Structures are given as C-alpha cells and as structure tokens.
C-alpha cells in the first residue's frame, strides 16, 4: 500500500453529499490534501483555501480527468432517475 493511501485512504473516491453535490479529495505531489467539487458542468473546482500553491503530477491530472467523467456519469444517472 502506498504512503498516500495509508494517510488518506478515501482520496480519489467520489463522495455524494445529501444535497447531491459530488466531491473528491485528491493528494498533490507534496502529500497535501486538496478538496475538489464537481458542479455537473464537465469541470472540476479545486478548493485552494489555506494553500499557498498546489503541485500536481501528470498522474494527478489524468486522474482528475477520469474523475470528471465519473462525476458527470453519476450526475446523469442521478438526474435521469428523477
């Protein structure tokens, strides 16, 4: 198991709030947790409050693209059920 997963076991997993908002916590190169939100618009909102900078790897960026697609699929499924 990687150090990242030991420290942040729920990172990179989409979480849906009671209100239906989908979010995720990603871990940057320096092992800083970064909260992100998906607003059903094909994008990711990176919450940088309390951080001076973030340092993302290629793997971080590729995973973020995957997460955007996963979140969009969840939103489509959520809204098609209503």
Q: Measuring CA to CA, which residue among 48, 28, 52 is closest to residue 37?
A: 48
Q: In whole angstroms, what separates CA 15 from the centre of its chain?
A: 9
User: What is the model's pLDDT at position 82?
Assistant: 59
First CA to last CA distance, the chain: 39
pLDDT range class, residue 58, cuts 50, 70, 90: very high
What is the arithmetic mean of pLDDT over 48-52? 94
pTM for this predicted structure = 0.87
Q: Measuring CA to CA, which residue among 14, 38, 28 is closest to residue 60?
A: 28
């Amino acid at each position: 198991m990687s150090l990242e997963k030991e420290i942040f076991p729920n990172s990179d997993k989409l979480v849906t709030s009671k209100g239906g908002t989908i979010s995720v916590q990603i871990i940057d190169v320096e092992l800083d947790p970064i909260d992100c939100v998906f607003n059903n618009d094909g994008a990711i909102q990176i919450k940088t409050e309390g951080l001076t900078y973030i340092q993302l790897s290629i793997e971080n960026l590729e995973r973020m693209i995957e997460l955007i697609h996963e979140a969009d699929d969840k939103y489509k499924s959520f809204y098609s059920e209503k």
